[in-house]
Amino acid sequence: MKTKIKLKGQLRNYMYWPLILTIVLAVINVPAYFINLKLGALFSAFVVIYFLFVLFAYFYNKPVILNELINFATQYGTVQKRLLDEFQVAYALLDYSGKILWCNKQFEVLSGKDKNYHKSITSIFPALTREVLKRDREIIEVDVTFQNRYYRASMNKIYFDTVTDNNEVISVEQSNQFLTVLYLFDETKLHQYMVENQEQKQICSLVYIDNYDEALASIEEVKRSLLMALVDRKVNKYFTERDAIVKKLEKDKYFVVFKQKYLKDLIADRFSLIEDVKTIRVGNEMAVTLSIGVGMGGSTYGQNYDYARMSIELALGRGGDQVVVREGENITYFGGKTRQVEKMTRVKARVKANSLREIIDSKERVIIMGHSISDVDSFGAAIGVYCAAHVLGKRVNIVINEVTSSLRPLKELFTVERGYPHDLFIRNETALELVDSNTVVMVVDTNRASYTECPELLNRAKTIVVFDHHRQGSDMIDNAVLSYIETYASSTCEMVAEVLQYFSANIHLEPQEADCIYAGILIDTDNFNTKTGVRTFEAAAYLRRCGAEVTRVRKLLRDDMKSYKARAEAVRRADVYRGVFAVSVCPGNGVESPTIVGAQAANELLNIVGIKASFVLTEHNGKIYISARSIDEINVQLIMEKLGGGGHLNVAGAQLKDCGMEEAILLLENTLDKMIEEGEISI
């Protein structure tokens, strides 16, 4: 069958105009006969000749024009294809599944494949998966790497139904079918410039000597300058090797500025300076320890300095001998594996006592609260603060929502019959009603807002005071007007006992009040077996002079039979992980205070030969509570921080939400494995 090619559109109209003009002339010829017969005949002859000429020209020129159009279209398509083939940007055409249909020369050079390579684009660029190609976007951009170079892959979708509109050859029924046009833009230099710009940013750092006075006091006077000179030399050498500027601000403080590109090296080295300084021995009995605060990620140098200042305060608040790196809101910890040196001076306790007196004296009411599920230390510290506020004639309330079996004997000592207010102990709802601008909220035995009995109370109170002995974390209470956190202290009760001695000369503790504070020290030190120092025994001696009786306290702290059996069962069911970690589950059924029993079981497990750390998990109120204990070789506080908790080097804990018991045990074991592999703990 012979194929007919017809003109369409404006070109067809242009070719038909002479024929249309012939008809117009013929119509005009009719009136000419009425005007003049000879003129009409002559005009008719002209129209006939013009029509024959136009007809001849039409049939003669039509194939020539069509041929020229076809040649032009062919040449135009060839030019387009050549332009794409020689395009300086790598270009490829992909089908619906990501298979390469065609590519230009630049793509061949880039990928090392020729035009006969029709496999999936994923085989060249693994990041360009089928799922990426099918994203519901017209333009898709993905950063890819190939042979150590960085490219920005820009992909446009061309749907079949838009290309084949009014096409008489094929029809497309599925409108979601498409081709993908891939452009690869080489951004290697841009990436290098961005990396260089990032690495050139300045990082601020503060380096403090934790125990400057104590270290100098432990050495002969003639050797003190030598000791500090060696410390200076190690600090300067460590940072100047990283092209840093080190400026000594005070006798025990340094300001360091270095480029961000060296931070990776310091992190890989795990800031070995803090361990290297401890090796300095020139007759000093006490090793020198450092704390380092690093600030980065700020929009200005001033903001980086503020981050560094916050980091060093956090490092010191956590006990020192560690590094805190703060990048915006992200905080990373290094070190912190040794116990903080106990401060022999009580100057800080006296200063805090005077500050606390001024704050309480300026308010009308004091509301005291500890952490949720209060323990003996939290309760005893609250009673100590009550005694201080009561001397000043202030109204005092203690927030306790849940009275555990271990607290009930202590709480029953403070009745109306003994002269105590009927509203001494209140719940959250009452506390929220009582708090106003003339109220000071005193938080004891925790520095985390989420761990308190009533976190909402902190949002409503304008004046907040924090007394705690746990290491600070990133979610600490940051709006306190007075914060007294001493991680070397055995307990918050020890801190409160010291403060009471300087609070007022008129203060007098009743025997039951002294018993409660003494009980808090006794529980947190495991009967003076752990975390005890000179000041611990001095605080206990002060409480003994105030009327605390050891026998009476022992009777108050006795367990019931169910709790004792639960603790024994937890010890019996313990498994040894990696030969040194005791892991057990404390049964909580029928036990009023399973978390306290779990902590007691963790202490018991340390009495087993070969156990370096113990972990007892307890399920209570929809959460998994982990009690972690060690003697001296393992820093359980670092382990618990990995799980969102915290505490001390030897005593720590964590709470896991939305987690089953088996899942929690697996998470704990995986955390131990990872920390051992990374060298954070050693067995």
**pLDDT, tens digit, for every residue of 209-242?**
988 888 888 888 888 899 999 999 999 999 999 9
Torsion angle of C-alpha atoms 175, 179, 180, 181, degrees rounded to 10: -130
For residues 605 and 602, give the distance between their C-alpha atoms in angstroms, rounded to a whole number. Answer: 5
For residues 522 and 543, give the distance between their C-alpha atoms in angstroms, rounded to a whole number. Answer: 12
pLDDT at position 641 is 86
pLDDT at position 170 is 42
For residues 665 and 642, give the distance between their C-alpha atoms in angstroms, rounded to a whole number. Answer: 14
Q: Is the pLDDT of residue 377 over 80?
A: yes
For residues 650 and 526, give the distance between their C-alpha atoms in angstroms, rounded to a whole number. Answer: 12
Pair of tokens at residue 664: 């929690």
* Buried/exposed code over 345-378 (b: 16+ C-beta within 10 A; e: otherwise): eeeebeebbeebbebbeebebbbbbbbbbbbbbb
Note whether 243 and 259 are within 8 A (CB).
yes
pLDDT at position 65 is 67
Note whether 76 and 84 are within 8 A (CB).
no
253-300 pLDDT per residue, tens: 999 999 998 998 898 888 999 889 988 988 887 888 899 999 998 888
pLDDT at position 11 is 62
Q: CB neighbours (10 Å) of residue 169?
A: 5
37-91 pLDDT per residue, tens: 777 788 788 878 877 887 777 776 666 666 666 666 666 566 666 777 777 888 8
pLDDT at position 69 is 61
For residues 296 and 327, give the distance between their C-alpha atoms in angstroms, rounded to a whole number. Answer: 5
Note whether 95 and 101 are within 8 A (CB).
yes
pLDDT at position 169 is 41
DSSP state of 2: P
End-to-end, the C-alpha distance of the chain in Å comes to 90
Which residue carries 């390469």 as its tokens?
A: 100
Count of alpha carbons within 13 angstroms of residue 297, beta-carbon side? 13
Task: Write down the mean pLDDT value for the chain.
Answer: 85
Which of 264, 263, 267, 261 is closest to 198 using CA atoms?
261
CATH number of 201-335: 3.30.70.270
Annotation: CATH topology of 90-195: Beta-Lactamase (3.30.450)
What's the pTM value of the predicted model, to 2 decimals?
0.59
Q: Is the pLDDT of residue 325 over 50?
A: yes
The SS3 assignment for 654 reads strand
pLDDT above 70 covers what percent of the chain? 89
More reliable by pLDDT, 127 or 29: 127
pLDDT at position 444 is 95
Note whether 453 and 379 are within 8 A (CB).
no
Q: Is the pLDDT of residue 177 over 90?
A: no
Ordered by start, the domain boundaries in the chain are: 9-85, 90-195, 201-335, 347-556, 562-677
Q: Is the pLDDT of residue 516 over 90?
A: yes
More reliable by pLDDT, 616 or 7: 616
Please give the average per-residue pLDDT across 96-109, as a whole number.
84
Q: Is the pLDDT of residue 460 over 50?
A: yes
Note whether 174 and 145 are within 8 A (CB).
no
421-441 pLDDT per residue, tens: 999 999 999 999 999 999 999
Q: Is the pLDDT of residue 2 over 50?
A: no
pLDDT at position 305 is 92
Beta strands of 193-265 (E only): which ranges? 202-209, 245-250, 253-259
473-488 pLDDT per residue, tens: 767 887 889 988 888 7
pLDDT above 90 covers what percent of the chain? 36
- Distances, alpha carbon 495 to alpha carbons 348, 388, 518, in Å: 11, 13, 11
388-397 pLDDT per residue, tens: 999 999 999 9
pLDDT at position 122 is 87
Q: Is the pLDDT of residue 4 over 60?
A: no
Q: Is the pLDDT of residue 497 over 70?
A: yes
Note whether 641 and 474 are within 8 A (CB).
no
Q: Which CATH class is domain 347-556?
A: alpha beta
For domain 562-677, which architecture applies? Roll (3.10)
pLDDT at position 498 is 92
For residues 548 and 514, give the distance between their C-alpha atoms in angstroms, rounded to a whole number. Answer: 5
Pair of tokens at residue 132: 């990426």
pLDDT at position 3 is 46
pLDDT-derived band at 364, boundaries 50, 70, 90: very high
Q: Is the pLDDT of residue 644 over 80?
A: yes
pLDDT at position 73 is 60
